[in-house]
Amino acid sequence: MATTDPIPPATAVPLESRPRFLAASRTAAPAARRVGRSEEIRPERATPPRPAPAVAPRMRSALLLALVVSLGTLLAACKKDSTDPVVPEEPTTIVVVTPSDMKGWAKQVTGTAPATVELVTGPATPVLGKGSARFATAANHNHTFSFSRLRNTQYAGTLLSDITKLTFSTYVERRDSSVDIPFLVLHVDTNGDGQPDDIVNFTPYYQTGKFLVPGVLDQWVSKTNSWQTWDALHGGWFILDNTSDAASILSDPDHNGKLITLASYIALHPTATIQNLPNGPGGIRMGVGGPIFGNHFIGYIDQYTIGIKGKNTTYDFEN
């Protein structure tokens, strides 16, 4: 009969004495569990950028609309406050003036030391066409009341308030002083009797620097041997209250005269019109001369433009 041997109690075996594969399995288990946990936690997926809220485009549109409305209001206010007529500008009609066909212009020379005016080719490259009107004082001018002019009779009765453009170009070949430069004059009827009451003077020399007053456009410094274009409509003018050329030397900004804008003058005289002189000379004149000018001045004018209610006419002076 077989005898069953009793089973001895289990004896704890030190870890270091256990088989290596058991020790490895026991020590590796935590790492395995950690790996298991990391595998159970899914990596975060990249979150796509949220689309802009639907209100954003509407907000941008509202801001843009508000900006446009504000600019429109500002422009409307500027136009409302301006005394310049707001008239759409039409294409410019170019009128060629030649010695044989002056198109409403006439030469005028006055004084004891006669100046000269003639239509010539040049100088340099004119701003329009190939020629211009040349003005010169005499070699013995000596600051006398001698003048050379071009005058136009075709604008008698034109309201100053209907003028929407007024520009001309100049070129100075020789002069003794920077004051000397061709200038523009309007003879104006302020009381409706058909007679000129004021002489309204635009001189390029006074359109910059210390002579400026509020509202006057700051323009070029007058140069020699260079074509320059002047904006008389938005420039500064000085005024005489009679038709005497002798008074002009006492009324310009160098002699305590003050510039005024044409818009301000029109506000004072809303019905003011251009008028020819009683003995015939035109109410628009351009020229040189007088006590300010020195001897043997030489200057030129071309591309005189006048706009009436948006309809522009440019005079091109040719030989």
pLDDT for the residue 189 = 96
List of E strands, 55-191? 93-97, 105-110, 116-121, 131-136, 147-152, 163-174, 183-189
Letter for the amino acid at 260?
Answer: I
- In 3D space, the residue among 137, 108, 112 whose CA is nearest the CA of residue 282 turns out to be 108
pLDDT for the residue 161 = 98
Question: Rounded to an integer, what distance in angstroms lies between the CA atom of residue 228 and that of residue 149?
Answer: 19
pLDDT for the residue 59 = 55
> Which pair of tokens denotes residue 246?
């002798």
85 CB burial (10 A radius; 0-12, 13-18, 19+): middle
- In 3D space, the residue among 291, 262, 133 whose CA is nearest the CA of residue 185 turns out to be 262
CB within 8 A of 47, min separation 6: which ones? none
pLDDT digits (tens, 9 = 90+) for 188-217: 999 999 999 999 999 999 999 999 999 999
pLDDT for the residue 47 = 55
pLDDT digits (tens, 9 = 90+) for 140-177: 888 788 899 999 999 999 999 999 999 999 999 999 88
pLDDT for the residue 63 = 54
Specify the DSSP class assigned to residue 91: P
Instruction: Using 50 as the pLDDT threshold, list the residues of the chain that sit under it.
Output: 1-43, 55, 65, 68-69, 72-84, 243, 246-248
- In 3D space, the residue among 312, 97, 287, 257 whose CA is nearest the CA of residue 185 turns out to be 287
Letter for the amino acid at 259?
Answer: L
63 CB burial (10 A radius; 0-12, 13-18, 19+): exposed
Q: Is the dihedral of CA 278, 281, 282, 286 positive or negative?
A: negative
Q: Phi then psi for 182, rounded to 5 degrees?
A: -55, 145
Find out if CATH 3.40.50.970 is the number for domain 95-317.
Answer: no
